[in-house]
Amino acid sequence: MNKKITIAIDGFSSTGKSTVAKELAKELEYIYVDSGAMYRAVTYFAMEEGFVGTSFFDLGSLLEKLDTIVISFQLNAVTANADMYLNGVNIENEIRTLAVSNLVSTVAANSIVRKKLVAIQKEMGKHKGVVMDGRDIGTVVFKDAELKIFMNASADTRAARRHKELLEKGQEVSYEDILKNVVDRDHMDTTRADSPLVKAEDAIEIDNSDLTRAEQFDMILALVREKL
Ligand code: CDP
């Protein structure tokens, strides 16, 4: 029973991938890696440096500084989750804003940015015992993952969930703006040239529009048990 596997969870934006991935990692005592947080961190860096905004993207300046960016996950003793750090500073809250969500797919489409982050992700999962969620985990980062899940839900369901989450965090955002972001990101993530979001051939697709969090967790845990 000590066999450790790699679990790749990919899917559309705001499908609750990270919720179930975190729950699985806790249950199995695996490492959880939120690869989206890494793309958000690079995007936040670019925004802070003035390299990207709603109507411009100075890719050259971002790439020049890319090597100076140190991103890491560090355990938050209060939440028991791993927070995202950028050059030693906790940016967990900053990366979850709609402003970052509106720019992240543009930054994540760049191959040099992806190369840097994929290398870190591969290193984090090299001993297995990892649950990683994102867009290209089962197709690029861990093509040989023993279990691949592809998550989906209707755009309305996803926007409503994300809207609730942001309101609970005290962010003043409209449902319409969130829905637009969800739809725009799906489009950009699925149509980009490098590592587009696509279901891996051997991934199991789950539509969680009508599933509770507990039902979804039990369903995926049963799939994990089959592999162990
Ligand atoms: O949680 P949510 O669905 O909002 O997205 P996320 O997982 O935080 O990812 C944010 C964005 O990062 C995505 O929309 C993608 O553009 C990009 N991303 C990616 O390109 N590849 C990954 N493995 C993970 C995220």
Whether residue 1 is predicted with pLDDT greater than 70 in this model: the reply is no
The residue whose CA is least distant from atom 9 of ligand 1 is: 36
Instruction: Find the angle CA(63)-CA(69)-CA(75) to the nearest 5 degrees.
Output: 145
Q: Starting from the edge strand earliest in sequence, which strands make up the sheet with 89-90, in order?
A: 71-75, 82-86, 89-90
In degrees, rounded to 5, the angle at the alpha carbon of residue 109 between the alpha carbons of residues 106 and 115 is: 135
Q: Whole-angstrom Cα distance, residue 48 to residue 28?
A: 37
35-93 tens-digit pLDDT: 999 999 999 999 999 999 999 999 999 999 999 999 999 999 999 999 999 999 999 99
Q: Which atom, in ligand 1's list, is nearest to the CA of 39?
A: 12
For residue 140, what is the DSSP state? I
At residue 189, the 3 state secondary structure works out as helix
Q: What is the CA radius of gyration of the chain?
A: 17
Question: pLDDT by residue (tens digit) across 182-206?
Answer: 999 999 999 999 999 999 999 999 9
Residue nearest to atom 13 of ligand 1 (CA): 105
Residue with tokens 């994300």: 162
- Residue 167 structure tokens: 């309101």
pLDDT at 2: 73
Length of the chain: 228
Please tell me the pTM assigned to this model. 0.98
Q: Which atom of ligand 1 lies at the shortest distance from residue 14's CA?
A: 3
Alpha-carbon gap, residue 186 to 1, rounded angstroms: 38
Rounded to 10°, the helix 35-48/98-108 angle is: 100
